[in-house]
Structure 1
Amino acid sequence: MGEKPHGISYRSDIDGLRAVAVVPVILFHLGLTQFSGGFVGVDVFFVISGYLISAGIQKDIAARQFSLIDFYERRSRRILPALFVMVAFTLLAGWIMFLPDDYKDVGSSAVAVAAFSSNILFWLQTDYFAGAAELKPLLHTWSLAVEEQYYIVLPIFLWGVMRYAKARFIPWTLGLAVLSFVVSIAMVKLAPSAAYYLLPSRAWELLLGALVAQGAVPAIRSNTSAQVASAAGLAMIVASVFLLTEESSFPGLNALWPCLGAALVIHAGASHSNTLAARVLSVQPVLFIGLISYSLYLWHWPLIVFTRYFYLTLTLSPGMMAGVAAGTFAAAVLSWRFVERPFRSRERVKKKAIFVGAGAGIAAFGAFGLALFVTAGVPQRFDSSAPAIARADKPLPGEPVCLVKEGALHWEEDRCFLSRKSGPVTLVWGDSHAYQYRRAIKEIIAPKAVGSILMYATAGCPPIFGVTVNDRPYCRPGNDRVPDIIKTYGVKRVVMFGHWRPMMEGGQTSLEMLKATIAQLRAKGVTVALVGDNPEYDFNNMPLLYQRIEGLTHGEAQDFALPPKYDGEWNRAASKIVPAGAFVDPMEVLCAGHGKGCMVYGNLKPLMSESNHLSYEGAELVAPKLAPLFGTVL
């Protein structure tokens, strides 16, 4: 970002295009809803990178001047110094601020960054038990990992084509790009998080830039055509920023528009540097943002995360947004001036120093991150007992897979009985809001229940027949399996749990669909009961709140209530679609007697494990109310 690639003439419009890429990413991450598709800026970066790097390598190979050592020296100079400074800051700030569970997670991320595999780590952590993505300060390094993995393969690929296919770069690159694009479309449907994070479904974006560099598209000769192409390209990027949302299937087809837009801008500017778009992109303020775009990208996300963490909020106030934006800009300018620029100079920093420094940095971060993982986040940093609080919805070692999710799609049937006795079978059906009650049901309700209790949950999937969730393709087939479960195990009662209100408000489903599902279940001869939403809050790092509560009250706090994100309106509406006695409202248990607040801490125990999941202690408080739904009186 802002570099002049080896053997390639500098183009100010490409630096300006970097500004167009990085600004929406930052605004999107700050929480400005108008920039709902700001994440596409990363895709624009991929196209730019594919163009510049491929052009440089191809030119060197053709001139028989290509050296793999020189290539990686340039990449190390470009990527590693600023990255290392940001990671070091993150580890230091995390040491001061992060609680052990969260700091252990930072350690895992640091190891993955050192191994250029953070995209793989964050893909593997795409579930309900690895901590909230909003509080992972190195999450944004996934895109750097994708690029570095691409850079490992690209030089070998281009050299092989030059050596064995008589420099037929375009057909080979086009073939790989088409294959990757098809993989991307398929993976968006089959494994959305893998499609988002992994190289096979992202490579086509970098290869699109490579195709432009290789001359796969004829040069634009007419100035008018160049004006139209560059303007259309910018329009496609801008439209993607404002029209796409987090609910859009991505990458796949939706990534085509910002990528094609970036390719058009780059291609038009290659032969016509005086287009209106090129002139706008070369305006000094835009150009300067482009020059510091790499550092802007590096610093914005950890500063957002630390602000959220400290202030216990996922939604930044306007003042917080302004503060983070100013801090990001200041950090980026300093990083660009005193880290990026000096390390790019071969006169100031020699080749040997670059490789020795790179090796030392990778080893240091890897070792420190591994130490954090092994020591469970160094809990000795804190005197309070609160940091030791584990997320209650985290599965225990050896616990069966009863929550179906991406990466664990095999429900372990017989092992998912919370109790197994003679008599009627009750099916617990829902999403993670059913799964959060598993221990409370097993330990409190099941011993006195008549008959068996079977758990079947699908992560992020409302327990409603016919519902489709864009980024969770397993939802519909998972729900369609319920009639077979009812038949196979002779289920006589179904107790339904869900993260209802956000799903309803997000348009994924509706009360009418829930009514229809209940009717279908009753038609099969089963009794149906419904459990409403528990309180939800606007922050995820509950243990930090508990630490502060203990610190302020010397560990003697009995109750602590906070206003929830949603009121109980939806629960009241849902209670009317089932008979009296067949509905339980957890908010009545946790919010009664606390005005507009709901308890997050009670009787010296934490009641929430994160923003919308109960801890075991919270589920334990609600369990007596749930017992009658299972035909049990406690």
Structure 2
Amino acid sequence: MLAEKNIRLDVQGLRAVAVLAVIIYHVNKAWLPSGFVGVDVFFVISGFIITSLIVGRKENFDWKGFYWGRVKRIAPAYFLMLAVVALVSAVLFLPADFKFFKDSLKAALSFTSNSYFEGFGSYFAPRAHELPLLHTWSLAIEMQFYLFLPVLVCFLPARLLRPVFVLLGIGLLAWSEYKLFNKSEQAVYFSLVARFPEFLIGAFVALLPPKNSLPMRYKSLIGAGGALLLALSVVFIDVQHFPGMWTLLPCIGTALLIAARHGPVSTLLAAKPMVWVGGVSYSLYLWHWPILAFIRYYTGQYELQMVWLAVFVISSLVVAWLSYRWVELPVRHVQGIRTVQKKMLAIAVCVFAVIGVSKEVNVAVVDKLPVEMTRYAPSDEICHGKVVGDCTRGYPGSSPRVLVIGDSHAAQLNYFFDAVGVKNEMAFRVITASSCVPITGFDVERLPLWAQDSCRSQIETVDALMAEADVIVLAGMWQYQTQSDEFMLAFSRFIEAAAEQNKRVFVLAQIPMFDTNFLRIHRFIALGLPVQVTQNNEWKSANSKIEAAVHDVSSAQFLDFSESEFFASAPFENNLLIYLDNHHLNESGARRYGQYAASFFQKNLLKIDN
């Protein structure tokens, strides 16, 4: 790192702009729609500073000292954060959620979390804003960048550095655009290759000759131009088309601000409050996201109420300052490699010890729940996203004449149809997929990448089974599905086509949905934490929308048990918790729901003439 006396105060202020933009965006995307570009500002600054370091010592470059300096700068506070987050997650998280956390922790420890989150996806994983280590992807990219830049700078002739950086940057930006065009947004967003041009822009600025001879008015114009580009960037860039060519807007803006050095904008950036925030920006970035993720995990809400917003702001600033004052500064200023190594070894031992016991802590702090409360069916026994056996539920030995289709809201009904089938001596074939109602015309592209292939596969399975079915039953999380006009069109066409083939169609209403995950509520109560249960009423309007679509087809019927006595005390039924999370039944709930509905099915719906 540059010596303290050589730190540019305007660049420190620019760090403050970057971290504040990121934090505002993380708190509420609507407040600063493109605040995520703050990360790109950090990348440009890193490219500038690291290249300045290397070029200044190129003739006698100390490879060991360089990499040790990077480790000393980043690792202590980073690994301490990982240990604390692991301990809090072990206490707060459900075992199933903690498993996802442990996977991300392994990636974060090896600075490969960008690759981990690039391919991350599971319907039952915590939501993205509840993943406490999601932000480590950018630090992983930064550490990976440090491996490559010294090689480029040290082994290329000085006269070739700038043209090579320009050509390499253009080539990588073109690659990013190609990947974005091919709908690989998530892969590009977390890619070192896609982010490398951002570092190169900062590196290019470091290679420019001094501009001290420029009149002040030109420096002021450069700074104002950079500020304007950056201001436009944090408001107007669409994350779905980023990085790619759009990355030039914030990165060139940042480069202009660094190149200006003087002028009104640089003076503003060098103001004491900005410099202070810039000084703690690394620790603030490290700690703000886990704190925010834990609050959201506990409350179950994305948008923070005022009291939680105050808790977030105060705790983030306090923890960041403590991390900066007692971890960053002492390690940064300690003299002697051996002394630093001993201190870091001691820290590493403590950190890995905490991480090592976190799994045991997770299962020990709260009594283990019965398995039937932690799932709606064994994943390896149901045809959810895949075909397992003949996908038959209900009465053993009976030929399935009813085809059940839907997303996880149909998958949760496997034991429901077991109960209905046993009582009525009939069988059902249940084909489902995550977030996907597997019918012809379903708009697969709106699903997360991890869900698309299984959705397409299940659509093909349903198409092959349609001819054998006399009755079609559809169930879904209509609150999600009805947001898509394409889905509504495909849904209407599907039930109309089934009716034309003389098939009876029954569409089950979405069950009541809550804002509260009840397995989490159980854990929080066991931990002595206050909880609040609230119902989400958006599902009601979604049910109405589906009912209206079904009403237009004469041989189709909408079945709504959501207002029945079975759900009168939801999420409980006869004092038993029947919900898995805020919108799925657990195994016990699915069985009880089937037992409740079985007689209704027998009398009114599923009499199939032999």
Matches of 2:584 and 2:491, distance apart in 1: 22
Matches of 1:284 and 1:463, distance apart in 2: 60
The aligned residue for residue 263 of structure 1 is 252
The aligned residue for residue 607 of structure 1 is 578
Matched, 1:500 2:471: no
Matched, 1:588 2:577: no
Note the C-alpha offset of 1:452. 5.4
Q: Aligned partner of 2:250: which letter?
A: G
The aligned residue for residue 87 of structure 1 is 82
The aligned residue for residue 369 of structure 1 is 355
Matched, 1:31 2:31: no
Q: Is the 8 A contact 2:404 2:428 kept in 1?
A: no
Q: Is the 8 A contact 1:82 1:339 kept in 2?
A: yes
- CA-to-partner distance for each residue in 1:17-74, whole Å, 9 max, x for gaps? 222211122222223632233223222222222222233224432xx22222111221
Give the match's secondary structure for 1:298: helix
Going from structure 1 to structure 2, the CA distance change for 1:217 and 1:265 (only over 3 Å counts) comes to farther
Note the C-alpha offset of 1:413. 4.5
Matches of 1:509 and 1:414, distance apart in 2: 29
Matches of 1:494 and 1:222, distance apart in 2: 77
Deviates most, 74-83 or 424-433:
424-433
Q: Is the 8 A contact 2:571 2:577 kept in 1?
A: yes
Matches of 1:214 and 1:425, distance apart in 2: 73
Note the C-alpha offset of 1:607. 3.1
The 5 A counterparts of 1:527-566 are: 527-540=504-517, 542-547=518-523, 562-564=534-536, 566=538
Note the C-alpha offset of 1:311. 4.2
Going from structure 1 to structure 2, the CA distance change for 1:27 and 1:452 (only over 3 Å counts) comes to same
Q: Is the 8 A contact 2:121 2:448 kept in 1?
A: no
Going from structure 1 to structure 2, the CA distance change for 1:227 and 1:371 (only over 3 Å counts) comes to same
- CA-to-partner distance for each residue in 1:475-534, whole Å, 9 max, x for gaps? 8887777775454333545433333324545x6657556434544555566544333333
- CA-to-partner distance for each residue in 1:222-267, whole Å, 9 max, x for gaps? 766655554344334333433456xx415344xx445532333323
Matches of 1:116 and 1:521, distance apart in 2: 52
Note the C-alpha offset of 1:321. 0.3
Going from structure 1 to structure 2, the CA distance change for 1:604 and 1:184 (only over 3 Å counts) comes to farther
Q: Aligned partner of 2:303: which letter?
A: T
Give the match's secondary structure for 1:202: helix
The aligned residue for residue 114 of structure 1 is 109
Give the match's secondary structure for 1:274: coil
Which structure would you say has the larger Rg?
A: 2
The aligned residue for residue 169 of structure 1 is 161
Matches of 1:202 and 1:190, distance apart in 2: 17
The 5 A counterparts of 1:231-630 are: 231-244=224-237, 248-253=239-244, 256-257=245-246, 259-270=248-259, 272-345=260-333, 348-359=334-345, 361-362=347-348, 364-366=350-352, 368-373=354-359, 375=360, 377-382=361-366, 384-386=367-369, 391-392=374-375, 396=379, 402-403=384-385, 412-413=386-387, 415=389, 417-419=391-393, 426-438=402-414, 440-441=416-417, 445=421, 450=426, 453-459=429-435, 465=441, 467=443, 469=445, 472=448, 484-489=460-465, 490=467, 492=469, 493-505=471-483, 509=486, 511=488, 514-519=491-496, 522=499, 527-540=504-517, 542-547=518-523, 562-564=534-536, 566=538, 568-579=540-551, 582-585=557-560, 587-589=562-564, 592-594=567-569, 599-603=570-574, 605-623=576-594, 628=601
Matches of 1:202 and 1:604, distance apart in 2: 53
1:205 is aligned, of 198, 209, 213, to 198
Q: Is the 8 A contact 2:219 2:263 kept in 1?
A: yes
Going from structure 1 to structure 2, the CA distance change for 1:601 and 1:291 (only over 3 Å counts) comes to farther
For structure 1, the 5+ residue unaligned runs are 404-411, 553-559
Deviates most, 496-505 or 145-154:
496-505
Going from structure 1 to structure 2, the CA distance change for 1:550 and 1:320 (only over 3 Å counts) comes to closer
Matches of 1:448 and 1:219, distance apart in 2: 88
Note the C-alpha offset of 1:466. 6.1
Q: Is the 8 A contact 1:314 1:539 kept in 2?
A: no
Going from structure 1 to structure 2, the CA distance change for 1:458 and 1:205 (only over 3 Å counts) comes to farther
Q: Is the 8 A contact 2:55 2:153 kept in 1?
A: yes
Q: Aligned partner of 2:543: which letter?
A: N
Q: Is the 8 A contact 2:49 2:206 kept in 1?
A: yes
Q: Aligned partner of 1:77: which letter?
A: K
Q: Aligned partner of 2:391: which letter?
A: F
- CA-to-partner distance for each residue in 1:92-115, whole Å, 9 max, x for gaps? 434554444444544444333322
Note the C-alpha offset of 1:469. 4.7
The aligned residue for residue 555 of structure 1 is none
1:154 is aligned, of 130, 149, 162, to 149
Matched, 1:196 2:171: no
The structure with more helix, counted as a fraction of residues: 2
Task: Give TM-score scaled by structure 1 length.
Answer: 0.79
Note the C-alpha offset of 1:402. 3.6
Over the residues paired in the alignment, what is the CA RMSD in angstroms?
4.2
Deviates most, 582-591 or 50-59:
582-591
Equivalent residues, number: 594
Identity %: 25
Q: Aligned partner of 1:231: which letter?
A: A
Matches of 2:234 and 2:407, distance apart in 1: 31
For structure 2, the 5+ residue unaligned runs are none
Q: Is the 8 A contact 2:391 2:429 kept in 1?
A: yes
Deviates most, 442-451 or 118-127:
442-451
Q: Aligned partner of 1:209: which letter?
A: G
Q: Aligned partner of 1:533: which letter?
A: Q
